[in-house]
């Protein structure tokens, strides 16, 4: 953090979190909520940190902590419940893992300086297991709960009731909140919230002001760098060889032979990278010379990345984080795999042979 120039709006966001026991940082996607939360952890000198996030975001959080957080605290991804007690700093855990009985018990056996809930709209249903874990149990085991979400109320403002309730800003119950602020329509499937009562919009904003901070990209545009690059480390998924490798399907090559070929190409690539790791410019040129001799390993790697990438893209599109997303890939079957996996969004496809 010392080597990074903290921008004004980032400092504002970090101090907003630090000054509150319960807070919702609801900046629009692209403003940088993760960094602000890490800055807040540093300012507040939190030593025991629990980050709850979607599975796909775990490695992003780990990488951000490693890049920006103090080296005095170590952060790790929770894969098994017995990792919690070994950690002297922060734990990053997926929501899906956190609600498992043994993991839940382990998390609740600790006391936390702060619990950070990424993509906090996942906690909008107060009856869900993850909401009960955060608002019911972890709230008793931590000094602070900081929520991050670029889409804090994806459907209607009643989804903000858990945060308001936890912050002590509305203690009358969710139904009372709905009756006060929401327009409701009766349907054959029960009452459906259709919006916010026009005369109550200002009241809702005043109610949220102490607990929620939201900025838009245009608000901080003058402070943003020209282009922002973010890297995501993802876990490779198994590849369906019968679907993508015709030689195996027709019996020309066995799966074992293919894996041996991929392993040999991977070893050659790793050896070259290690040899030239101190001269990255030379390494880039040298790796280019391997392009034709590492076709199988590069293709297999691309196919193995499609499922986790699709999970990320679906999440972003369904939560309306971005109106459009552009994906680039080298191999045609990777592009085809992406097209098939994202068919529900009617993707437009272009490739070099078009």
Annotate 245-293 with three-state secondary structure. Answer: CHHHHCCCCCHHHHHHHHHHHHHHHHHHHHHCCCCHHHHHHHHHHCHHH
Note whether 178 and 158 are within 8 A (CB): yes
CA dihedral for 267, 272, 278, 280, sign (positive or negative): negative
Share of the chain above pLDDT 90, in %: 61
Answer for the pair 313, 305: CB distance below 8 angstroms, yes or no: no
Checking 284-290 for CB contacts under 8 A at 24+ apart, the result is none
pLDDT higher than 60, residue 291:
yes
Would you give the distance in Å from CA 89 to the centre of its chain?
20
pTM of the complete model: 0.75
DSSP for residue 150: S
Burial of 205 (0-12, 13-18, 19+ CB in 10 A): exposed
Q: Over 70: is that where the pLDDT of 286 sits?
A: no
Q: Which residue has the higher pLDDT, 142 or 277?
A: 142
Average pLDDT over residues 262-267: 90
Q: Which of 99-113, 127-141, 181-195, 282-296 bottoms out in mean pLDDT, i.e. has the lowest?
A: 282-296
pLDDT digit string (tens) for 228-239?
Answer: 677 777 888 999
CA distance 150 to 24: 10
Instruction: State the Cα–Cα distance between residues 242 and 248, nearest whole angstrom.
Output: 7
Please give the mean pLDDT across all residues of the chain: 88
Domains of the chain and any CATH numbers: 8-166+203-223 (3.40.50.10810), 241-345 (no CATH)
Report the C-alpha gap between 36 and 13 in whole angstroms. 6
The tokens 């939190």 sit on which residue? 46
- ∠167-169-175 over CA atoms, to 5°? 110
Task: Give the span between the Cα atoms of 111 and 310, in whole angstroms.
Answer: 36
pLDDT in tens, 78-118: 986 566 665 567 999 999 999 999 999 999 999 999 999 99
84 vs 39, more confident: 39
């Amino acid at each position: 953090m010392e080597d990074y120039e903290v921008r004004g709006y980032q400092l504002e966001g970090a101090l907003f979190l630090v000054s509150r026991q319960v807070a919702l940082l609801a900046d629009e996607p692209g403003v940088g909520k993760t960094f602000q939360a890490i800055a807040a952890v540093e300012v507040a000198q939190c030593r025991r940190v629990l980050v709850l996030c979607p599975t796909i975001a775990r490695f992003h959080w780990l990488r951000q902590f490693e890049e920006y957080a103090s080296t005095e605290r170590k952060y790790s991804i929770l894969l098994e419940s017995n990792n919690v007690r070994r950690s002297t700093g922060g734990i990053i855990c997926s929501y899906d893992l956190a609600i498992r009985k043994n993991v839940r018990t382990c998390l609740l056996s600790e006391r936390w300086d702060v619990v950070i809930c990424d993509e906090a709209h996942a906690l909008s249903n107060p009856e869900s297991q993850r909401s009960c874990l955060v608002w019911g149990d972890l709230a008793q085991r931590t000094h602070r709960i900081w929520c991050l979400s670029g889409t804090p109320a994806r459907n209607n403002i009643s989804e903000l009731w858990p945060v308001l309730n936890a912050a002590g800003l509305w203690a009358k119950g969710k139904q009372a909140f709905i009756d006060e602020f929401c327009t409701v329509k009766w349907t054959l499937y029960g009452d459906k919230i259709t919006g916010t009562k026009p005369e109550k919009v200002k009241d809702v904003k005043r109610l949220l002001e102490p607990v929620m901070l939201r900025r838009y990209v245009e608000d901080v545009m003058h402070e943003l760098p020209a282009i922002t690059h973010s890297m995501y480390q993802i876990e490779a998924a198994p590849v369906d060889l019968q679907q993508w490798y015709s030689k195996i399907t027709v019996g020309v090559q066995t799966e074992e032979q293919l894996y041996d070929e991929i392993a040999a190409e991977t070893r050659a690539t790793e050896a070259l990278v290690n040899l030239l790791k101190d001269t990255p410019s030379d390494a880039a040129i040298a790796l280019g010379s391997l392009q034709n001799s590492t076709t199988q390993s590069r293709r297999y790697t691309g196919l193995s990345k499609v499922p986790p990438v699709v999970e990320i893209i679906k999440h972003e599109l369904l939560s309306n984080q971005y109106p459009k997303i552009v994906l680039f890939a080298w191999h045609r079957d990777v592009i085809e795999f992406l097209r098939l996996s994202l068919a529900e969004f009617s993707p437009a496809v272009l490739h070099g042979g078009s």
